[in-house]
Amino acid sequence: MTLLYIIIAAIVLLGVAYAFRMAGQAATSNKPFFRDMPFGVAYGYVLGAVLIVLGVWLFFQPQNVDGVPQAGVMFFRWAVQVFVVFAIAAYLFRLLGRSVGTEGSKKLFRSMPLTAAFGILIIIIYAIVAIFAGAIAPYGQEEVLGAANIVPGGNPAMNGNPEFPLGTDQIGRDILSRLIFGAQNTVGIAFVTTCLAFLIGGSLGFLAATLGGWLDQLLSRAVDALMAIPALIFALLLITIATAWAGSASWQVTIYMILIIAVIDSTRVFRLSRAVGLNIVVMDYIEAAKLRGEGLGYLIFREMLPNAYAPLLAEFGLRFCFVFLTIASLSFLGVGIQPPLADWGTMVRDLAQFINFAAFAPNVALAPLLAAGAIALLTVAVNFVVDWMLHKSSGLKE
């Protein structure tokens, strides 16, 4: 039924778009902007305008009707508010970057799109939270406090408690503290894993590119075989085995998980660094260095690495996202980071059922979304920055 209305509205808009273009042509006495406007573009303008009007209308709907919270409106308002706050914060951050700092950094910020500024800001915030989690969090991550299932929002009338602004979970741990410690655990572990993957994949890749021959063949075929198994499936299989080895020691499971994901992801890093390396070893300056009699270490670290810096850095960002998402997914499936360590994936799984209460208690549904959102926010931020870097280094203008 709703679908029917949407289709009818879309058809009506066709007419409106036509009228809009006609009116534009008449009002501006056939300026090229309206004269050459394809019908699709006119339709796009009208559709955009309608969506904005609808959004504003929804934003100013009452949040409560006869004491019943209008969950849809509230979620929409929150989403819009968060979006606006982030946009303003990113804008201010870019403004700050443009006026403070060295000449180079100012120049960097001047050419930066808003999304990249947003990404950098978020990454900095996450880094600070992760490093100083112990000092920022009001409670410990494993601390079981008085009451369980306190509703987020800190409003006593709605079953909240100002001492726990985001409420507590099923066994009474403070969700805010666990979110903050989750930054330390999840992001920290993902970071260590990515570094490890780069260490393995990068060094082997460059080695294969410089030495070539049977070593290159051996490594490349091994990587081909490993890459033929989907990453998440392979990780799950290996972790099954690892948990059998580790027995009941949960920290061992985490160590094994780091190693497993590092090895699986190092295959992707190997491919890239080998490809980049192969392009570099044929350069004249490598030839010159070889003729000078430089050793393998000098060749790789002083000649090749500086020239492979840009693609590897971008790959580091993307790889970090993949590793981070894999770890979050594994934890979500219950085989990743082990409790009692606070971790976002596990939190989402534990709190997920509260989503079903969203219709009459929107606050309650917020907790699992916050944990999942924390994961999404970081990966989105990293991707924005990587996208900008790739765009900058490729020199694409169109």
Partner 1 sequence: MAGLLRIIVQRLLLGIVTLFVVSVIIFVAVNALPGDFAEAILGQGATPEAVTAIREQLGLNQNAFTRYFVWLGGVLRGDFGVPLSQALFAGNFGTTATGTEVITVVDQIMPRLRNTLFLAGVSAAIAVPLAVTLGILTALYRNSAFDRSMNVTTLSAISSPEFFIAYVLILFLAVLNPVFPSLSNIFPGMEFSERLNRTMLPALTLTLAVTAQMMRMTRAAIINLLASPYIEMARLKGLSPMRVIVKHALPNALAPIITVIALNLAFLVTGVVVVEVVFVYPGIGQLFVDSVKIRDIPVVQACCLIFAAVYILLNLTADILSIVSNPRLRHPK
Nearer to partner 1, 18 or 163 (CB): 18
Contacts to partner 1 by CB under 8 A = 2, 38, 40-41, 44, 48, 71-72, 75, 115, 224-226, 228-230, 232-234, 236-241, 243-245, 321, 325, 328-329, 332-335, 345, 348, 352, 355-356, 358-359, 365, 368-369, 372-373, 375-376, 379-380, 382-384, 387, 398
Nearer to partner 1, 280 or 369 (CB): 369
Q: In this structure, what DSSP letter does residue 168 have?
A: B
Smallest distance, Å, CB 99 to partner 1?
A: 25
Nearer to partner 1, 163 or 256 (CB): 256
Category of 30 on φ-ψ map: left (φ > 0), alpha (ψ -120 to 50) or beta: left
Smallest distance, Å, CB 163 to partner 1?
A: 27
Smallest distance, Å, CB 164 to partner 1?
A: 22
Tokens representing 180? Answer: 């903050």
Nearer to partner 1, 210 or 331 (CB): 331
SS3 for 229? coil
257: nearest Cα among 322, 189, 348, 358: 189
Smallest distance, Å, CB 383 to partner 1?
A: 4
Cβ density class 302-336: b for 16+ within 10 Å, e for less: ebbbebbeebbebbbbbbbbbbbbbbbbbbbeebb
Smallest distance, Å, CB 285 to partner 1?
A: 30
CA distance 362 to 304: 55
- Cβ burial of 357 (10 Å; 0-12, 13-18, 19+) is middle
- Tell me how far CA of residue 77 lies from CA of 44, 57, 86, 247, 271, in angstroms: 25, 11, 14, 48, 45
Smallest distance, Å, CB 331 to partner 1?
A: 10
Nearer to partner 1, 139 or 234 (CB): 234
Nearer to partner 1, 209 or 223 (CB): 223
